[in-house]
A and B are shown apart, each in its own frame.
Chain A
Amino acid sequence: MVLAVENLTVRYGSAQVINNVSLRVERGEILALLGNNGVGKTTLLRALSATLGMHGGKAAAGTAHHATCDLLRANAVAVVRSGLAHVPEGRRIIANLSVEENLMAGALAVRGAAKIAARRATIYSLFPVLAERARGRAGLLSGGEQQMLAIGRALMSHPSVLLLDEPSLGLAPLVARQIAATVRQISDEGMAVLLVEQNTRIALSVADRVAVLGGGRVVAQGRPKDFADGRVLAELSLGGRARERS
Chain B
Amino acid sequence: MKWKKHLVTRFLEAVLNGVSLGSLYSLIALGFVIIFRATGVMNFAHSSFLLAGAYVTATVSAKSGFLVGLLAGVVTAAALGAFTQLVILRFSKDKSHLGLSVLSLGVNILAVTEITRRIGDNTLPLHDPWAASVWQFAGITVPVSRIAALAVAAALLTGFLLLFRFTRWGLALRVSAADREVAALVGVPMGRVSWTSWAIGGAMAALAGMFLAGFPAPGVEPSLTNSAMRAFPAAVLGGLDSIPGALVGGLAIGIAESVTATYEGHLGGFGSGASGLVAYVVLFAVLLLRPDGLFGTKVVSRV
Contacts and interface: CB of A to CB of B under 8 A. Distances in A.
Given A86-B185, A153-B186, 17 more contacts: A80-B186, A88-B181, A92-B181, A96-B178, A97-B178, A101-B171, A104-B168, A105-B171, A105-B188, A106-B186, A107-B186, A108-B168, A108-B172, A108-B186, A109-B188, A156-B186, A157-B186
Contacts of A198: none
A228 B67 CA distance: 76
A2 interface: no
A77 interface: yes
- Contact-size category for B: 10 to 19
A49 B178 contact: no
B187 A157 contact: yes
A76 B188 CA distance: 8
Interface in A26-61: 49-51, 54
B185 A51 contact: yes
B189 interface: yes
A82 B212 CA distance: 49
A123 to B, nearest CB: 14
Interface in B147-201: 168, 171-172, 174-175, 178-182, 184-190
Interface residues of A, number: 27
Contacts of B182: 88, 92, 94, 105
B175 A51 contact: no
A49 B171 contact: no
Contact of A97 (B174, B184, B186): B174
A80 B178 contact: no
A107 to B, nearest CB: 8
Interface in A195-225: none
A92 B179 contact: yes
User: Main secondary structure on chain B at its contact with chain A?
Assistant: helix
A88 B185 CA distance: 8
27 contacts: A49-B184, A49-B185, A51-B181, A54-B184, A77-B188, A81-B187, A86-B185, A88-B181, A88-B185, A92-B179, A94-B175, A96-B178, A97-B178, A101-B171, A104-B168, A104-B171, A105-B172, A105-B175, A105-B182, A105-B186, A108-B168, A108-B171, A108-B187, A109-B187, A153-B186, A157-B186, A157-B187
A77 B185 contact: no
A230 to B, nearest CB: 34
A107 B188 CA distance: 9
Contacts of B178: 94, 96-97
A76 B187 contact: yes
Interface string A90-121: 00101011000100111111000000000000
Nearest to B182: A92
A109 B186 contact: yes
B299 to A, nearest CB: 15
A16 to B, nearest CB: 23
A108 B180 CA distance: 14
Nearest to B177: A94
Interface string B43-59: 00000000000000000
Interface string B250-278: 00000000000000000000000000000
Contacts of B184: 49-51, 54, 76
A239 B186 CA distance: 34
Given A97-B174, A101-B171, A108 B188 contact: yes
Contacts of A77: 187-189
A54 B181 contact: yes
Contacts of B180: 54
Nearest to A157: B187
Which of B168, B178, B186, B189 is most buried by chain A, counting CB atoms within 10 A of its CB?
Answer: B186
Contacts of A80: 185-187
Looking at A79, A94, A101, A105, the one whose CB has the most chain B CB atoms below 10 A away is A105
Nearest to A104: B171
Contacts of B171: 101, 104-105, 108
Interface in B6-53: none
Contacts of A106: 186
- Greatest chain A CB density within 10 A among B174, B179, B187, B190 is at B187
B136 to A, nearest CB: 46
Contacts of B181: 51, 54, 88, 92
Contacts of A85: 185
A76 B185 contact: yes
Nearest to A156: B186
By Cβ-Cβ distance, the 4 closest A-B pairs, closest first, are A109-B187, A80-B187, A76-B184, A94-B178
A108 B188 CA distance: 6
Contacts of B179: 92, 94
Contacts of A101: 171, 174
